[in-house]
Amino acid sequence: MKDDQAGTLPPPPAENPPTPAGEEVYASHQKVYPREVHGIFANLRMLGVTTLLSLFYGVAWLPWGGRQAVLLDLPARKFYIFGLTFWPQDLFYFAWLLIIAALALFYVTSLAGRLWCGYACPQTVWTEIFLWIERKVEGTRNQQIKRDKSNMTPAKLRVKATKHAIWIIFSLYTGFTFVGYFTPIRELATEMINFNLSPWETFWVFFYGFATYGNAGWMREQVCIYMCPYARFQSAMFDRDTLVIAYDNERGDPRGSRKKNTNPGQAGLGDCVDCTLCVQVCPTGIDIRDGLQYQCIGCAACVDVCDQVMDKMGYQAGLIRYTTERAMTGLRTRIIRPRTIMYTVLLVVLSAGLLYAISQRLPLGLDVIRDRNSLYRETSQGLIENVYTLKVINMDERAHRYKLEVSGAEPGLTGLELVMRKPYVEVPAGEVVGLPVSVRVDPIELKRASNQIKFTLTAADNRKLSLTRDARFLGPVMSR
Amino acid sequence: MSTDDLTEQQGNTGIPVVQRIASILWPSFIMSGIATGLFFTVFDPLELTLLTGHADISRMAVYSSGFFTFWLLTSSTSALTCYFRRPCDHVKEHR
């Protein structure tokens, strides 16, 4: 165990514990110095942090069949996610996916409280890394507080400059990785090494880097308290069966320091030795013993540190623990309840629907654009001709040859003749081909000035790969 | 502590500057992101630049400037809302 741990009891007196949360919320901000903590939940968080960070920094470099596995290619308006390619037309799926993600978050919240905040939120993940860097450079919590109170000396300047330099380099690398999801990261790296990043790429690297540095280095818990919408509405998903972190009042109070081996019962004390370590480790600077507060991000640092203290004192662990309101009153926690059943059903239905929709997605698109310059023209044979530009979008993973047909969309309009350069159109995988075509018809067939026609595009190798689009055919009205 | 208690405590002053700035810039940032996404899903920047005769602008530049234009608009809305939400007593004092 490290020396800044819950080693000595009662607490080191030289410290200035943060003001209790209620008074602090809208007062001027006081810097929170979270004490380093070890334990099962800290380990779980480190696991979450390392997994998520490796994913973020690693996935950008993954290749997939000659391209980047995950590339949101904004310049080309195509999103590659492993084997799938998404087009702007697929925004619908993305919105669907976001709804599923939101529901999953609500579901987890109603069951297990703010697990997301404590272990998986990017704000937590990056703050954790920044805190780690800070500790490596600036030392323990006590050393940091002491240094911040002292006057500026060359030594202090050096330590602070080192910390910020490491933070900034790390932030810029984060910004670089972020941009690497939008511009192929290997090309980006080459451009970076040769100092010829495009102005916008440079800008976004710095913008995202600055946001990382600001949020994880400076803002930290203030992001959770002031900026996070989820923190504001998560209580709506809470009920008496939701997992929260709570201090056991019954068992802990009255609080007070005591010598080791004192029988708390005889001394008229509860199990809480009032060491304030739970306050010192709290990343948002609250006192969990004041009850459930919306600033609590559920990181369980106080659980870890209190368990160690209880262990040292020879008391039972769990004075601060994961529990539910119902369990605190001696009842059994219900996992299956209307709320969770509803979320489960919705999640299953929506996820299954999305998977089905993606599997049934037609990897073919067709836009019909009428020639704007002329309404119609008459050919030398006396036929009426309309000119169109067709945009054929092949969203499939391989090239296709398509056959185009045209017909009247309403009964009575027959004899439409399609004129194109080749009898078919060939589109490589993931490409858009512009195809000028003209449609001719004998004016005797036209009953109206504006007629509905339809273009049907069918892949030569797969009849199911077929799409129909409506268009207008204009002509003169024949007097008879 | 309930949200109502907090609202009472905060009164008209005493809200940290960082929260005041964040409450304007941050929601507008999110909305601007959504607006940018939706707008450019429907309109291809290249077609827009062709129509307006600025064909030399890259898509990336259009996306970026589009995002910041939206952000300017949304943050102005947020700022104006905050401005008009100030109690009218405040205005009287200045007369």
pLDDT 10s digit of each residue in chain A, 480 long?
A: 344 444 434 444 344 444 444 344 444 567 888 888 888 999 999 999 999 999 999 999 999 888 899 999 888 888 888 888 888 878 888 889 999 999 999 999 988 889 999 899 999 999 999 999 999 999 999 999 999 999 999 999 999 999 999 999 999 999 999 999 999 999 999 999 999 888 889 999 999 999 999 999 988 888 888 888 888 888 888 888 999 999 998 888 888 888 877 777 777 888 899 999 999 999 988 999 998 888 899 999 999 999 999 998 888 899 999 999 889 888 888 888 898 999 999 999 999 999 999 888 888 989 898 887 778 888 888 899 999 999 999 888 888 999 999 988 877 788 888 988 888 899 998 888 989 999 999 888 888 888 889 999 999 988 888 999 999 898 887 655
In a domain, B26, yes or no: yes
Bond before A254 cis per omega within 30 degrees: yes
Q: Count the domains in chain B.
A: 1
The Cα of B92 is separated from the nearest Cα of chain A by a number of Å equal to 26
Distances (CA, A) of A187 to A80, A179, A182: 16, 11, 11
Contact flag B40-A88 (C-beta cutoff 8 Å): yes
Structure tokens at A74: 């904004």
Q: Which of B14, B41, B60 sits opposite A75 (nearest CB)?
A: B60
Give the β-pairing of A450-459 and A462-474. antiparallel
Nearest to A118 by CA among A260, A277, A272, A304: A304
Contact flag B37-A91 (C-beta cutoff 8 Å): yes
Helices A338-359 and A91-112, axial angle in degrees (round to 10): 160
Task: Give chain B positions within 8 Å (CB) of A365.
Answer: none
Multiple choice CATH, A364-474, 2.60.40.10, 2.60.200.30, 3.80.10.10, 3.50.50.60: 2.60.40.10
Amino acid at A16: N
Domain edges within chain A: 1-361, 364-474
Sheet architecture: strand order including A78-81:
A70-73, A78-81, A84-86
In a domain, B66, yes or no: yes
Cβ contact A295:A21 at 8 Å: yes
In a domain, B9, yes or no: no
Task: Give chain B positions within 8 Å (CB) of A226.
Answer: 16, 18-19, 22-23
Amino acid at B56: D
In a domain, B70, yes or no: yes
Cβ contact A286:A296 at 8 Å: yes
ipTM above 0.85 for this complex: no
Parent domain of B48: 16-93
Task: Give chain A positions within 8 Å (CB) of B36.
Answer: none
Q: Please give the residue of chain A at the shortest CA–CA distance from B59.
A: A75
Cβ contact B30:B64 at 8 Å: no
Task: Give chain B positions within 8 Å (CB) of A27.
Answer: 14, 16
State if pTM tops 0.80. no
Contact flag B44-A88 (C-beta cutoff 8 Å): yes
Cβ contact A300:A226 at 8 Å: no
Contact flag B59-A200 (C-beta cutoff 8 Å): no
In a domain, B49, yes or no: yes
* Whole-number Å distance between alpha carbons of A355 and A351: 6
In a domain, B45, yes or no: yes
Cβ contact A317:A310 at 8 Å: yes
Cβ contact A382:A417 at 8 Å: no
Contact flag A226-B9 (C-beta cutoff 8 Å): no
* Whole-number Å distance between alpha carbons of A386 and A419: 10
